[in-house]
Structure 1
Amino acid sequence: MGTRQPLDLFAIGTMTIFCMVMASQQVMLKAVAEDLAPVFQIALRSGIAAALLIGLILVQRHRMPLAPENRIPALLIGVLFTLEFLLVGEALNKTSAGHATVFLYTSPIFAAIGLHLKIPNERMSRLQWLGILLAFVGIVLAFLGGDSTATLSRDVLWGDFLALLAGAAWGLTTVVVRATGLSALPARQTLLYQLVVAFVLLSLWAYMTGQADVNPTPEAMGSLAFHGIVVSFIAFLVWFWLLTKYKASQLGILSFMTPVFGVLLGNWLLSERIEANFIIGSGLIIGGILLVSSHGWLSKRRERRAGKPA
């Protein structure tokens, strides 16, 4: 495997577009929710993306062997991926797209705690624990925001909590991948397992809960095409390609533009109100996540500086 290069203007520009695309998905899910329920739209987009990914794998003639010991972890990440987006879909029925995006992107916090407990060489430093504390305070402050109407506040609070649980499911998915033989598999293979399981389980959930009705308006069909082709297929392939060229730690730090864009796009396109408490809390959450996620990069920089001759 070749040496990853530091970020350049192309990578920064590509990551900015990538983060805007990823941030817009909750906004678009919310915008067409009356015509196509978020949970069912996520199910359908997973099916579209899985079909496109299978086609790409067949064209490129990639083999996808799965060792017996990896079968249960493969099913588990599919279930966790499904749970993540089930929670996101239900959260969007209660809270704003901006709130859902910020709380979903708390996943690195949960991943860091899980890896700390599961893998000895993933123990967190004091700086990372400080980041965890900072993010926790931010979550509390963000939850204190909301509408002045009591009923609406309870709904928003419940939606925020579901989005936070979605972030925990995403973080746990990372732990399962890192702690099992799935970490040695190509990224598109693990993505395919997640997409197929999500398509099946979320479709069943949508039918059982009466959320499978579709009003095929141009906006709903456009959103579905955008999610299935751009978000779940092209954007993920671009992300995996960037990981083969550039340093993952630096890309990871840039990815935290996504919740910022999510809040701004929700305010601009859906006229979602941004509460002062939520702004402060979101800032603390993102700051805490950056402390947790950038520890490895900062440590390597310190090591390089210490190793330079005087």
Structure 2
Amino acid sequence: MNTAAAIATPAPVRRAPDTFAIALMVLLCAIWGLQQVAIKSTNGALGPMLQAGLRSTIAALLVFGWARLRGTPLFRQDGTFGPGVAAGVLFAGEFICIFAGLTLTSASRMAVFLYTAPCFTALGLHAFVAGERMRRLQWYGVALAFVGIALAFADGFARHAAPGTSAITGVLGDALGVLGGVMWAATTVVVRATSLSHTSASKTLFYQLVVSAVVLLALAFMLGEPHRVHVTALALVSLGYQAVAVAFISYLTWFWLLTRYMASRLSVFSFLTPLFGVAFGVVLLGESFSTRFVLAAGLVLAGIVLVNAPARRAATAK
């Protein structure tokens, strides 16, 4: 999932996640983990850029309707246009990397590489946002994740070096997954460091969806993808899942959770998403992975947990 817009909604009082919030977070992680499988299963019927553009268009229309229903202004001048366009371009870049990368690598590998985003986010916030300095534990987490990335790339070269395959092509897909994580992190930093941090979550998400829809559909037409469409029932179900379940319902549910519970405690669940992504890739697409990749994924997940670990609070006298 893209968490950039989520951070835009401030909450006056937040509490630690209860059983309901934990169960809901596990469900959301499963929904986000299935997204890579849905994308990959549809790439043969819809071109990757066309698929991504239609996803953003449908979700943008749904967010527009939701905002109108709730009376949330989307077009009022509030100084967010420039940062909003920038966030939208980065959001589009993220999904260019994801959708294109899934034509070159497996959904399981993409899930792990993409969810290095929390580590890149911590680095970006450390550099550009006051009060977001990284702690020693977070530095350890970033280092672990980067070791995991290096090991996973080494595994990718070995896996794709078999006769009749292209090591460069497969590893390029892996690299696009990491670049997608960087784009995701950059979007988060733009939201946190600009006027977008003071606007509604719906408006921030709307910027990202509208701008990305324009960029992705323009790219799809430039590549001639609309002329190579093969509509199937699976493609329609997958597109509906991505647009409605992921980009609309799950994101709004995430925003709702952030208004009531502590973001730092919720974010630690992000490590579950690549686990679900790998599991769905294996079960639904028949993907396989090596022992070395399992170790690499474990290092990345450990890094994510450390990066999201809540800071220790000093005890106060009663």
Q: What TM-score comes out, normalization by structure 2 length?
A: 0.91
Pair 1:290-2:290 in alignment: no
Equivalent in 141, 149, 161 of residue 162 of structure 2: 149
Instruction: Give per-residue Cα distances to partners, 1:76-109, cap 9 Å, x unaligned.
Output: 0000000000011110010001111111111111
Shift of 1:282: 0.9
Q: Matches of 1:240 and 1:84 in 2, distance apart?
A: 20
User: More helix by proportion, 1 or 2?
Assistant: 1
Q: Matches of 1:161 and 1:270 in 2, distance apart?
A: 21
Equivalent in 40, 50, 53 of residue 40 of structure 1: 50
Shift of 1:255: 2.2
Number of matched pairs: 302
Pair 1:67-2:66 in alignment: no
Shift of 1:38: 2.7
Q: Matches of 2:173 and 2:268 in 1, distance apart?
A: 26
Alignment-mate amino acid for residue 50 of structure 2: F
Instruction: Give per-residue Cα distances to partners, 1:144-186, cap 9 Å, x unaligned.
Output: 1132426343222110001100100000111111111110111
Pair 1:201-2:215 in alignment: yes
Shift of 1:292: 1.4
Shift of 1:67: 2.3
SS of the aligned residue for 1:273 comes to: coil
Shift of 1:119: 2.4
Q: Matches of 2:70 and 2:130 in 1, distance apart?
A: 37
Q: Matches of 1:257 and 1:233 in 2, distance apart?
A: 20
SS of the aligned residue for 1:122 comes to: coil
The answer to whether the Cα contact below 8 Å between 2:32 and 2:246 also exists between their aligned partners in 1 is: yes
Identity rate, percent = 43
Alignment-mate amino acid for residue 202 of structure 2: R
1:52-131 paired onto structure 2 within 5 Å: 52-64=62-74, 65-68=76-79, 70-131=80-141
Q: Matches of 1:211 and 1:143 in 2, distance apart?
A: 30
The answer to whether the Cα contact below 8 Å between 1:105 and 1:259 also exists between their aligned partners in 2 is: yes
SS of the aligned residue for 1:20 comes to: helix
The answer to whether the Cα contact below 8 Å between 2:281 and 2:287 also exists between their aligned partners in 1 is: yes
Shift of 1:308: 5.1
Shift of 1:2: 4.3
Pair 1:158-2:169 in alignment: no
Alignment-mate amino acid for residue 282 of structure 1: A
- Greater CA deviation, 178-187 or 119-128? 119-128
RMSD (Å) for aligned C-alpha atoms: 1.4
The answer to whether the Cα contact below 8 Å between 1:23 and 1:259 also exists between their aligned partners in 2 is: yes
The answer to whether the Cα contact below 8 Å between 2:270 and 2:304 also exists between their aligned partners in 1 is: no
1:204-219 paired onto structure 2 within 5 Å: 204-212=218-226, 213-219=228-234
Q: Matches of 1:66 and 1:18 in 2, distance apart?
A: 33
SS of the aligned residue for 1:7 comes to: coil
Unaligned runs of 5+ in 1: none
Structure 1 residue ranges, 4+ long, deviating more than 3 angstroms after superposition: none
1:17 is matched with 27
The answer to whether the Cα contact below 8 Å between 2:29 and 2:273 also exists between their aligned partners in 1 is: yes
Q: What TM-score comes out, normalization by structure 1 length?
A: 0.93
SS of the aligned residue for 2:73 comes to: coil
- Greater CA deviation, 37-46 or 133-142? 37-46
